[in-house]
Amino acid sequence: MERGLSMELVRVTEAAALASAAWVGKGQKNLADQSATEAMRTLFDTIPMDGKVVIGEGEIDEAPMLYIGEELGTKDGPLLDIAVDPLEGTTIVAEGGMNAMTVLAVADRGNLLHAPDMYMEKLAVGPDCCGLIDIDAPIEDNINKVAKAKGKRVEDVTVTIINRPRSKDLIERVRQLGARIKLFDNGDVGAAINTCFDWTGVDILAGIGGAPEGVIAAAGIKALEGDFQAKLLPRNEAEKDRCLKMGVKPNTKLELSDIVRGDDAIFAATAVTSGELLSGVKFDKKYRETSSVVMRAKSGTVRFINSRHSIEKKPNMVLTDN
């Protein structure tokens, strides 16, 4: 992948964030998602690459979403796999909540797991705990190992878990051990990435979420030198057959290197609404301000980017006819 690709990808997430931010708090999650998708697609097609969506929002018949198999870019650059979530947290945006982001990940062709849209059990930690976790082990064992690696008491370790009925047993076990819990309702890409930054206060991500989001998060964690393990959890025979056709055994541990192969991947995200890691889009009479992060595994570079965008020079950068 070209060195300048990281900055080109940030332009894509910025455009999607600016477009969807116009819908914050307006109860229109589908329009927010559509706005982000259209902006992302437009910018993608200006980038010198030959990209193919392997993690998207459905199949070709579900357009205008960025669908699996869609080709993006000018076709005169590197062959890339693309994983996208044009708006992670559509409900968050509709309700004016926190931690909505536009996110994407890219890797050389064939290096991203082509995960179907099914449930995935996930376990993520930051660089201090790389190589220590085991998704097959009890959560208590993993928390104890993280506490020791970070020099913390178990009761000071924070586990972030999606707030769903399926998390009930996990939540009870973490509480019985005495560790802290931070529940989240949506946005498990951001929740996983937060484990790699001490100032977020999150030490471990555990629980069951979406597989596509897991692949995107894994790319970011690879760039941050953290660790991520997962299992695909099919709910029926059709989903099980999809796993087997992909060459992935369901209910079997996947290491980070199984999900994002090779030595390189790029992760980019721009906040739509504020969270622990990034500030949301800010509105001014003449400008819009965005906060983004982009990271590359091969170089280990992590860039936090604050940008100001002129409305006067680009009056159509966001939807205003709502």
Please state the residue numbers annotated as binding site for Mn(2+).
Answer: 33, 57, 85, 88, 213
> What does DSSP say about strands 282-283 and 301-310: parallel, antiparallel, or unpaired?
unpaired
Residue identified by tokens 């894509």 is 12
Burial of 55 (0-12, 13-18, 19+ CB in 10 A): buried
Q: How far apart are the C-alpha atoms of 124 and 105, rounded to whole Å? A: 17
The closest of 276, 122, 248 to 188, measured between CA atoms, is 122
Neighbouring-strand partners of residue 222: none
Residues in the chain: 322
For residue 84, what is the enclosing H or E element?
A: strand 79-88
The CA–CA distances, whole Å, from 291 to 30, 258, 272, 303 equal 23, 31, 9, 11
Mark the binding-site residues, compressed into ranges. Answer: 33, 57, 85, 88, 213
The beta strand positions in 65-127, using DSSP E, are 71-72, 79-88, 101-108, 119-125
Token pair for residue 287? 């400008």
